[in-house]
Amino acid sequence: GSLKSSVFLLILYLLEGTLSNSLIQLNNNGYESIVIAIDPNVPEDEALIQQIKDMVTQASPYLFEATGKRFYFKNVAILIPENWKTKPDYVRPKLETYNNADVLIAEPNPPGNDKPYTEMIGGCGEKGERIHFTPDFLAGKKLTQYGPQGRVFVHEWAHLQWGVFEEYNDNQKFYLSNGKPQAVRCSAAITGTHGVPKCQGGSCITKPCRIDKLTGLYEQNCEFVPKTQQTEKASIMFQQSIGSVVEFCTEQNHNSEAPNSQNQKCNLRSTWEVIRESEDFKKTTPMTTQPPNPTFSLLQIGQRIVCLVLDKSGSMSNANRLNRMNQAGKLFLLHTVEQGSWVGMVMFDSVAYVQSELRQINSDADRDVLTRSLPTVPSGGTSICSGLRSAFTVIRKKYSTDGAEIVLLTDGEDNTISSCFNEVKQSGAIIHTVALGPSAAKELEELSKMTGGLQMYASDQVQNNGLLDAFGTLSSGNGAPSQSSIQLESKGLTFQNNNQWMNGTVIVDSTVGKDTFFLVTWTKQPPQILLWDPSGKLQSGFVVDAAIKMASLQVPGTAKVGTWRYSLQASSQTLTLTVTSRASSATVPPITLKTRMNQDTGKFPNPMRVYAKVRQGALPILRANVTALIESANGKTVTLELLDNGAGADATKNDGVYSRYFTNYDANGRYSVKIWVLGGITAARQRAIPHQNGAKYIPGWIENGQIKWNIPQAKINDNTSQEEQVCFSRTSSGGSFVASNVPSGSIPDLFPPCQITDLKAEIQEGSLINLTWTAPGDDYDQGQAHKYIIRISTSILDLRDNFSVSVQVNTTHLIPKEANSEEVFVFKPENITFENGTDLFIAIQAVDKANLKSEISNIARVSLFIPPQPEDTSTPYPSITTNSTICGFHILKIMWKWIGELQMSLALN
């Protein structure tokens, strides 16, 4: 009940079609408005709710002490599925949805994988997306594998809220330091033993770890097992399950040499240094009293309630805007909005008009009735607040406005819009805004921000299909995946001559096909429409609405899987094609596309980042062709190929999140974002969740001086046998952002190459060092850099802190390749001592033509290990080089002593 007061401030947009954006607020050291959602596929179990409460209650004091009495958990909303039984203490959510949940409780995928983890798509210090737990983990069935639930929650919270990374490394558990193998851990004062578990039939024995004679490291299956009794207090991001561990690593105890994600991504900084730089830390001081226990709100998903608030002012006659709005509104009403939803409609000019009270959509007839309420004649001024107030009235006649959605479209300016901001905040409604054309009120985005709504922009460039894309994105934030509308295609073309053709294909894959809907629009005369299904059968039955210039076809039943072909013929006009569908099965998750920018405002010369998450359920789709189209207020469109290569803007390779930097600003104002995805013969669905930032799986515990092993977790192989080929197409609006500080006229080159984040080094024969990395560009990850600066040092911190004076490698013949190409460079260290046992550290800086330099890369390391010469085994005894008489005397002396002790022992017995 205490959530309502603080959820309205500083909230980024959310909804299906965007990645998760949190409602979390920090208020007087306490975190509020945390949303923990139970997935609808989790079987109903009331005990799960209590287990969530117990976890958070246990975590709060642990977090409080670990952060020097700065932070605790104040209140949490638990989102309960609609298909669970209704109870009196369950209330309707306000702004909380599955899409903005901070924690998701879901069944393991694949089965048996109960690893707690946090999705992270950004860099060091950037907030994560969402924490994942399973019911078995919450029930305490994984205590020996991961430790107490409350401690694990704090580990994941640090990923989510402060953007810190793991201090272990499951792919490289040991490294060489001064010629000796060390366990990857933080702090290095954590003590333990090592061994190889040999398991069969549910029981394990310990084998000693063998050292690889070529590398000097322990064999691959060797595990480091910390002792249960420790005095070291750090670190939570290494293994919070150790009883003594109650702190994060600091500058004083951080292990900067350990090859882990925290060091690689955070420039060797400790987790506490990163936390200390966060906005949370900067606006708090330590508390002098103990914090209260967390409080909980139980929220149950209900029916969707949405009211369209549509501008019919005189300016809507420009650029055919009113007609285009009606086309988009019809797409939303005929297909996008889910069955069972309640929908109302308000239009406004200088005043507001109720076009339709709330009506539940139970049939096609209900949808048709609502489409007939769309406005037809533009006239009058623009009073946005009148439209919003009228929408509140329509909703309150039947329901509370808490959690209700309003879709607000306008093309006009309105200097009175701020007069209803307080009413909007108090309403508890979510407002999604659509800015149409170049003059829409600049305050629109404020309505989206303060209510957690989606913000979108559509230009007057009809061929870009922006308005239909915006309305096609407005699926419910709480709808089941099987009910959500999925956009398969969105294309447009302007014909300059007579009798031209717009030809193309749409892939209907096996995960979709239900309620497949083809929509064609035009600007002058109806085109000829030809559509063939995968078997080559020509489709008929398009319903033509000549008044608003559109034709639609609802494919009966489930559309055939395969490639559908279309041909549209027209003369001297603009045509668009939009294709949507729904999941073919309620039990098999569809392939989905969720998109967003890293922020909703861009300030030149800071780059924006585009993200597109392509998944089937939790499983990533790899090697798809993902393209972003970004349109400025000037009408200029930039095309970006998004990549999942773990370089540039992309944080993690092969996680199904495709990313790229955007630097092509050309004007101040709104920019719209649209994403296309095509999965062809190279695209594949990973059959297992890839590595995620999460709690370390505990290999075993030391009990009574012996290792008691847990059964090793299943390995995730990185080969093609773990993938399944998929062919599909998806498209989605990525919302909009607003750019500022863009200079007029020519845009100066102020963009350096992006940081290299995947530098790797290996020693080859003859002490040669082989470097590999992904090439940056001239402007971040686009174009071609001018040159590289490579420096080396035997001190990792000296290389980081004094890069410019460290030993430079000769790179005269190293010419940078085009951005995102693989670079390979081999060199032999010079002007530095490189002998057996030496640890050598290497970093790169890229430089562009304007002499702008990238940040220093991640630091790679190599350790020179010269295998010992094999021993001479020709004689069983080593040769004696000392004086034989003295040596013989000492041997006799030892033998006499031994005989004497034996005689005494026999006498006593």
Q: Which residues are catalytic?
A: 156
Supply the angle between the helices 149-162 and 46-66 in degrees, to the nearest 10.
70
Q: What is the largest CA-CA distance in the chain?
A: 122
How many Cβ atoms sit within 10 Å of the Cβ of residue 875? 7
Q: Residue 88 contacts by C-beta under 8 Å, 6 or more apart in sequence?
A: none
Burial of residue 853 (CB within 10 Å: 0-12, 13-18, 19+) is middle
Per the rule left: phi > 0, alpha: psi between -120 and 50, beta: everything else, 350 is alpha
CA quadruple 19, 23, 26, 28: dihedral, nearest 10: 180
DSSP state at residue 511? T
**What is the dihedral sign for C-alpha 766, 767, 773, 776?**
negative
Q: What is the rounded CA–CA span in Å between residue 130 and residue 773?
A: 29
Provide the b/e sequence for 444-468 (b: ≥16 CB within 10 Å): bbbbbbbbbbbbbbbbbbbebbbbb
d(CA 444, CA 413): 10
Nearest alpha carbon to residue 731 among 529, 425, 492, 411: 492
Q: How is the beta sheet containing 352-360 ordered, strand by strand?
A: 352-360, 342-348, 305-311, 405-410, 430-436, 455-458
- Tell me which residue has tokens 């600091």: 250
Cα–Cα nearest to 733, from 554, 597, 891: 597
Residue 436 CB contacts under 8 Å (≥ 6 apart), including other chains: 311, 321, 324, 325, 409, 410, 411, 457, 458, 467
State phi, psi for 902 to the nearest 5 degrees.
-70, -45
For the chain, how are helix, strand and coil distributed in percent, rounded to 5?
A: 20, 35, 50
- Start-end of H helices in 5-92: 46-66
Which region, left, alpha or beta, applies to residue 497 given φ > 0 means left and ψ of -120 to 50 means alpha? beta
Name residue 713's beta-bridge partners: none
Length of the chain: 909
Helices assigned H by DSSP within 420-569 = 421-427, 444-451, 466-472
Beta-sheet strands, E only, within 301-403: 305-311, 342-348, 352-360
Residue 796 CA to residue 464 CA, distance in Å, equals 51
Q: Enter the tokens of residue 553.
A: 């076809």
* φ and ψ at residue 43, rounded to 5 degrees: -60, 145
Cis peptide bond N-terminal to 187, omega within 30: yes
Measured between alpha carbons, how far is residue 881 from residues 276, 878, 885, 887 in Å? 62, 9, 11, 10
Radius of gyration of the chain (CA): 32
Cα–Cα dist 173/654, whole Å: 21
CA angle 64/65/71 to nearest 5° reads 25
The DSSP output letter for 672 is E
Q: Which amino acid is it at 673?
A: V
> Do the beta carbons of residue 550 and residue 524 sit within 8 Å?
no
